[in-house]
Amino acid sequence: MNRRSFFAALVNPQPAPDAPAMTMRTGAHGERVSLLGYGAMRYPTVDGSHANNFRGGSNAPIDLALVQRQIDYCIEHGVNYFDTSPAYCRGESEKVLGDALAKHPRDKWFVATKLSNFNPKVWSHEASKKMYETSLRLLHTDHIDFYLLHSIGGGGKDSMKVFNGRFIDNGMLDFLLKEREAGRIRNLGFSFHGDEKVFRHALAMHDKVHWDFIQIQLNWVDWHHAKEVNPRNVNAETLYKLLDERGIPAVIMEPLLGGRLAKVNERVMRKLVPLDPAATPAQWSFRFAGTFPRVLTVLSGMTYLEHVVDNVKTYSPLKPLGEREFAALERAAAAFLSDDSIPCTACNYCMPCPYGIDIPGIFGYWETALADDALPDDPTDPSYAEKRRRFLLGYEQFLERLRRAERCTGCGRCKPHCPQAIDIPAMLRKVDRFIEKLRRNGRA
Amino acid sequence: METVTRRGFIASAGAGAAVCAAAGAEKEDDKLTDGGIADVTPPGVPERQLHVVPPGAGGHRNFSTRCVGCQLCVNACPNNVLRPSKDPRRVFQPEMGFENGYCRPECTKCGEVCPAGAIRRITPEEKKTIHVGHAVWHSELCIAYTEGVDCSACAEHCPAKAIVRVPMNEKDKNSPKVPVVDSMLCIGCGACENLCPARPMPAMTVEGLECHREVRPMSGLKK
């Protein structure tokens, strides 16, 4: 060891040579992909605010130094799949990721990005093509390893029309197939939220298009209970089996439901602790997603380095779940679901609200209270007064006065953007009415 | 040559700001990326023809003759509604303003602390029946009227349920709805003024009543 490497090791500890290696999976063309994938949608910002910290939206710049450290750590520990999109983080995600990856050799990482042409204004061939070319430029590369049609299945009743408008009628799919032939796209796939009809339609194109991979939402709640979380969603089991039958590698998103499954929920933990008292909820969730053999990589939007460290550990190597553990998670899923739940994953697609409402922040606060059994919903509960006090205090402390649920005008502009198809204005009103009732019951 | 009065200048500056706020709302159509958070502008303070004094005061005459300007109620107000007046004729005497909060139906703090009999002690039930002012709608500011936004902020939050939203087109139930204030029910609490998203001034403002009066019993508070 020379002086240089000694100091480098001091600042940035390298994995011990005998550290267990990350579990790897094989892609459609023999790529060796790490089971943990880095999601570039939940970057830390310099104000320390992020999606799971009650405050949802933030205009603060991304903390580039923290991001660089995470990316370096990922690559040093075998993580080689990095997922971004032109829409993420106010459109800054690709550039930040591209710059952070640039210092590492190109053969050390795979990058995934998407055709995020959600707005009809960019449905045209030229505008969509420009989006693709911008991605290549911002990522400082001549080829994209994994390219996705971003979030097909959205658009409500018009989901088929939206799919055709975004990818088929403008010739973008044909263009991307040619790009794949030319080697500038190595794997072509799509990500899916919402209408099952569109999923099956896209899958039926497989014989012609040969999807190299498909990205789906999978976690132990969505496995069998997606419809209960949200009537428009499709059970992950159904989606996974359809991919498995066709031998299409599955990329997993939302393994933690936007962090909601990483939260300790007493009702849930009661089912899990007897089997493995030391495992964290996040570890359970990552082991669940990784156990399925057709899964290529599990994406995690890791905001802070400790998330990366923890998840790397879980997958180095993966300890697959057995029958007993699956059964326990199935029971836990039933306990997790509550009628009062708001299935927000804090993806921020609805943001910014034109009236400045912190939508993911409000829903996050609500869900945290629900998971903590801290929702003061039962006045006969002996701890009602204490719960009420804390709930109101926390709400006022964490959410700025002009960004709370009461300021929602009900204009509904957020609604079409939600991949979970949440009726956002109705849910904001639900939270607001609950709080209003609490305030009025102060003297009861 | 047309001279620009101070009033005219301020009014036109206000109109410009309103256009900017509207442009902010319109930007949605250009949304290409996700995340971030829009700037929020605190609501403006409207000029009132008649200031508002708190429920329990009985009316302006009782209040202005008894109030000694001790500021106990200003300190006690948990919703930041009461503040000392800037009017030299009522110096130190409190009045109500709604840019920080509104006079919440469950709160009777000011009456509990008043040592001078300017604000009588009332119960929350009583409070719900006392008119201290009435809301006035300013169509030129209301985003439902000017932009056709399906906004229900005032009607949703009115504790007295005094605001009805009525479609502007009689034949089309789904046409933009504008708020109509039922002055028989409105108690002047300021919830609508406080929560109205219109800028620079709220489109609902409260005008004070000279003599406070009771809501008619048959109007029955629905909430």
pLDDT of residue B15: 46
- Name which of B104, B143, B151 is nearest A439 (Cβ-Cβ): B104
Judged against a pLDDT cut of 70, whether residue A331 lies above it is answered with yes
Whether residue A22 contacts residue A35, with contact meaning beta carbons closer than 8 Å, is answered with yes
Residue of A nearest to B28 (CA): A354
Judged against a pLDDT cut of 90, whether residue A299 lies above it is answered with yes
Q: How far is CA A55 from the centre of its chain?
A: 17
Give the model confidence (pLDDT) of A213-261 as tens digits.
Answer: 999 999 999 999 888 877 778 999 999 999 999 999 999 999 999 888 9
The total domain count for chain B is 1
Query: Residue B190: CA atoms inside 13 Å, Cβ hemisphere, count?
Result: 27
Lookup result for tokens 């939600």: A418
Whether residue A232 contacts residue A217, with contact meaning beta carbons closer than 8 Å, is answered with no
pLDDT of residue B198: 94
Q: What is the CATH number of the domain that holds B70?
A: 3.30.70.20
Lookup result for tokens 């250009």: B30
Taking only residues 353 to 392 of chain A, the set having a beta carbon closer than 8 angstroms to any beta carbon of chain B reads 353-356, 358
Judged against a pLDDT cut of 90, whether residue B50 lies above it is answered with yes
* Plot region of A375 (φ>0 → left; ψ -120 to 50 → alpha; else → beta): beta
pLDDT of residue A54: 59
Give the model confidence (pLDDT) of B63-72 as tens digits.
Answer: 999 999 999 9
Whether residue B141 contacts residue B198, with contact meaning beta carbons closer than 8 Å, is answered with yes
- The interface predicted TM-score (ipTM) is 0.78
Does any CB of chain A come closer than 8 Å to the CB of residue B1?
no
The mean pLDDT value for A357-375 works out to 91
Q: Is residue B83 part of a domain?
A: yes
In chain B, residues with a C-beta closer than 8 Å to the C-beta of A60 are none
Taking only residues 64 to 123 of chain A, the set having a beta carbon closer than 8 angstroms to any beta carbon of chain B reads 86-91, 116, 118-119, 121-122
- Could you give the C-alpha distances from A102 to A71, A93, A110, B172, in angstroms and in order? 11, 14, 12, 58
- Name which of B28, B35, B42 is nearest A89 (Cβ-Cβ): B35
What are the structure tokens assigned to A26, written together? Answer: 């094989």
Chain length of chain B: 223
Domain-wise residue ranges, chain A: 16-336, 359-443
pLDDT band of A60, cuts 50, 70, 90: confident
**Residue B79 CB partners (closer than 8 Å, separation 6+):** B100, B101, B102, B103, B104, B107
The mean pLDDT value for A372-379 works out to 88
Q: Is the Cβ pair A118, B37 closer than 8 Å?
A: no
Give the model confidence (pLDDT) of A81-111 as tens digits.
Answer: 999 999 999 999 999 999 999 999 999 999 9
Architecture of domain A16-336: Alpha-Beta Barrel (3.20)
Residue of B nearest to A433 (CA): B157
Q: Is the Cβ pair B150, A400 closer than 8 Å?
A: no
pLDDT of residue B20: 40
Judged against a pLDDT cut of 60, whether residue B9 lies above it is answered with no
* Range with the poorest average pLDDT among A21-35, B93-107, B207-221: B207-221
What gap in Å lies between CA A166 and CA A146, rounded to an integer?
A: 19
Residues of the domain holding B56: 43-212
Interface test with chain B among A117, A411, A430, by most B beta carbons within 10 Å: A411
Judged against a pLDDT cut of 50, whether residue A389 lies above it is answered with yes
pLDDT of residue B158: 94
Judged against a pLDDT cut of 90, whether residue B58 lies above it is answered with yes
- Nearest in space to A300 (alpha carbons), one of A70, A61, A104: A70
What gap in Å lies between CA A345 and CA A359, rounded to an integer?
A: 11
A38 bridge partner residues: A82, A300
Q: What element of type H or E holds A3?
A: helix A3-11
What gap in Å lies between CA A70 and CA A64, rounded to an integer?
A: 10
Q: Is the Cβ pair B106, A407 closer than 8 Å?
A: no
pLDDT > 70: percent of chain A: 95
Lookup result for tokens 């599955």: A250
Judged against a pLDDT cut of 80, whether residue A57 lies above it is answered with no
* Range with the poorest average pLDDT among A226-240, B14-28, B189-203: B14-28
What gap in Å lies between CA A284 and CA A330, rounded to an integer?
A: 12
What are the structure tokens assigned to B5, written together? Answer: 């009065």
Residue of A nearest to B223 (CA): A437
Query: Residue B92: CA atoms inside 13 Å, Cβ hemisphere, count?
Result: 8
Residue of A nearest to B143 (CA): A409
pLDDT of residue A372: 85
pLDDT > 70: percent of chain B: 83
Q: If you average pLDDT over every residue of chain A, what do you get? A: 91
Give the model confidence (pLDDT) of A170-195 as tens digits.
Answer: 999 999 999 999 999 999 999 999 89
